[in-house]
């Protein structure tokens, strides 16, 4: 990974899912910050927000009081240039749950699905080179 690669923030209470998401994002050309709660993710955003290009978050992250939807809304309001990708295996968003700039995927997710959504939510000039070149066979 080069030192000019953009950063992503992965927020999920499950360490294995965080690692998997970071591996997928690393393969797409991102460096990752990790958070186990939405509250910790907000701390990271406050400190490093201008350097982060993507928020990848689970919806439910106990024991915290904020959900991934809450995190997505706060991110969209305070850091509107950050792409938002929300994932859940247990629920789907209802009306108003996510900011208009957010995208939702279901768990379990594959690298191909994540990369496809990244191509849709990140402007061409902000996609890492590896993401632009990644090709998956079906």
Give the least confident one: 36-50, 74-88, 124-138: 124-138
Residue 1 lies in a domain: no
pLDDT at 137: 40
**Can you say how many angstroms the Cα of residue 2 is from the centroid of all Cα atoms in its chain?**
20
What percent of the chain shows pLDDT beyond 90? 74
List the domain range (segments joined by +) for residue 59: 7-133
Residue closest to 128 by CA, chosen among 27, 33, 29, 3: 29
Count of domains for the chain = 1
Burial of 79 (0-12, 13-18, 19+ CB in 10 A): middle
- Indicate which CATH number applies to the domain containing 16: 3.40.50.2300
- Who wins on pLDDT, 129 or 80? 80
Mean pLDDT, all residues of the chain? 90
pLDDT at 72: 97
For residues 107-113, give the mean pLDDT.
93
- Who wins on pLDDT, 115 or 137? 115
pLDDT at 130: 76
For residues 111-129, give the mean pLDDT.
83
Residue 138 lies in a domain: no
């Amino acid at each position: 990974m080069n030192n000019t690669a953009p950063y992503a923030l992965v927020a999920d209470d499950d360490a294995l899912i965080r690692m998997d998401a970071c591996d997928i994002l690393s393969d797409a050309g991102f460096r990752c910050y990790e958070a186990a709660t939405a509250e910790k993710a907000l701390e990271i955003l406050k400190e490093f927000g201008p350097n982060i290009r993507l928020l990848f978050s689970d919806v439910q992250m106990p024991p915290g009081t904020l959900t991934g939807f809450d995190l997505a809304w706060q991110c969209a309001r305070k850091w509107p240039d950050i792409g938002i990708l929300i994932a859940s295996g247990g629920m789907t968003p209802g009306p108003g749950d996510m900011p208009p700039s957010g995208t939702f995927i279901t768990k379990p997710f594959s690298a191909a699905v994540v990369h496809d959504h990244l191509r849709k939510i990140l402007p061409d000039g902000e996609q890492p080179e590896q993401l632009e070149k990644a090709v998956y066979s079906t």
